[in-house]
Amino acid sequence: MSVKTQRAVYIVGGDAGVTGMFKHRGWNLAETDQDADAVVFTGGADITPFLYGERIIQGTQVNFTRDLEEVRLFKSLPSKLPKIGICRGGQFLNVMSGGSMFQNVDNHAIRGCHDMKDVVDGNTIMVTSTHHQMMIPSDRAFIIGLAKEATKKVGERISISIKERIWDDHEVLYYQHTTAFCFQPHPEYVKADHDCQEYFFRQIETYCF
């Protein structure tokens, strides 16, 4: 069942797909972050590695201007205002909440779907997958969703090869101290009744409100 709401959302950058998804779910669109019940950070380029203490490695493509603008916005938001991140946006919120990143992983930039396990209720759902980087949570993260697709995870100072796939790919996190919900899949890429989008909105209600 779809979750309906009359809350207002401010979508950073005004992503058309994300905007349409929230409007379909009954959300109002806030013109500024000051008028919003939640702020959504959307997808796009890789997170600049200097934000988590690394240098850029081959394959990482960043938008310095966007990163600086969103860092300023994040720091200006009230700590208790719900912050929701989709794909790059989720990775950004993870970093701003103290987490780090693998700059490259395999088997996730597939433009399709894969299984993800909700570690809270044990259920497995299908989620979209279009990213080549992956969140590394800090010890303050509450881990919600895990996948088991990657066999190689690479950063500036680390390279991990996995012979047997395990549920260790972090897909969904929540940080209470920053009220940040980090969702690495793209729920706006699928139809409204798809598991991925339904799950996304249920988790927003659970963790953000």
Which CATH number do you get for residue 118?
3.40.50.880
Q: Is residue 2 part of a domain?
A: no
Per the structure, how many domains does the chain have? 1
Whole-number Cα distances in Å, 201 to 106, 167, 204: 27, 23, 5
Phi/psi for 184 (5° steps) reads: -75, -30
Element (H, E) at 128: strand 124-130
What is the structure's pLDDT at 25? 94
Helix (H, G, I), strand (E, B) or coil at 185: coil
Q: Is residue 3 part of a domain?
A: no
The DSSP result for 139-205, as a single string, is: TT-EEEEEE---SEEE-SS-EEE-SS--S-EEEEEEETTTTEEEE-S-GGGS-TTSHHHHHHHHHHH
User: What is the 8-class DSSP label of residue 157?
Assistant: S
Q: Is residue 157 part of a domain?
A: yes
pLDDT tens for each residue of the chain, 209 residues long: 455 568 999 999 889 999 999 999 999 999 999 999 999 999 999 999 999 999 999 999 999 999 999 999 999 999 999 999 999 999 999 999 999 999 999 999 987 899 999 999 999 999 999 999 999 999 999 999 999 999 999 999 999 999 888 899 999 999 999 999 999 999 999 999 899 999 999 999 999 99
If one counts every other C-beta atom within 10 angstroms of the C-beta of residue 141, the result is 21
If one counts every other C-beta atom within 10 angstroms of the C-beta of residue 103, the result is 24
Q: Is residue 30 part of a domain?
A: yes
User: What is the largest distance, in Å, between two alpha-carbon atoms of the chain?
Assistant: 49
Q: Is residue 179 part of a domain?
A: yes
Q: Is residue 148 part of a domain?
A: yes
Strand ranges for 50-108 from DSSP E: 83-86, 100-102, 104-105
Domain extent at residue 185: 8-208
What is the structure's pLDDT at 112? 87
Q: Is residue 21 part of a domain?
A: yes
What is the structure's pLDDT at 58? 94
User: What is the 8-class DSSP label of residue 187?
Assistant: G
Sequence-distant (≥ 6) Cβ neighbours of residue 154 within 8 angstroms: 57, 102, 103, 104, 105, 160
Question: What token pair was written down for 154?
Answer: 């690479």
Nearest to 1 by CA among 19, 28, 37, 26: 26
| Residue corresponding to tokens 């603008």 | 69
Q: Is residue 1 part of a domain?
A: no
Question: What token pair was written down for 4?
Answer: 């309906």
Residues forming beta bridges with residue 154, ordered by sequence position = 104, 159
Element (H, E) at 183: strand 180-183
By DSSP bridging, strand 104-105 and strand 180-183 are unpaired
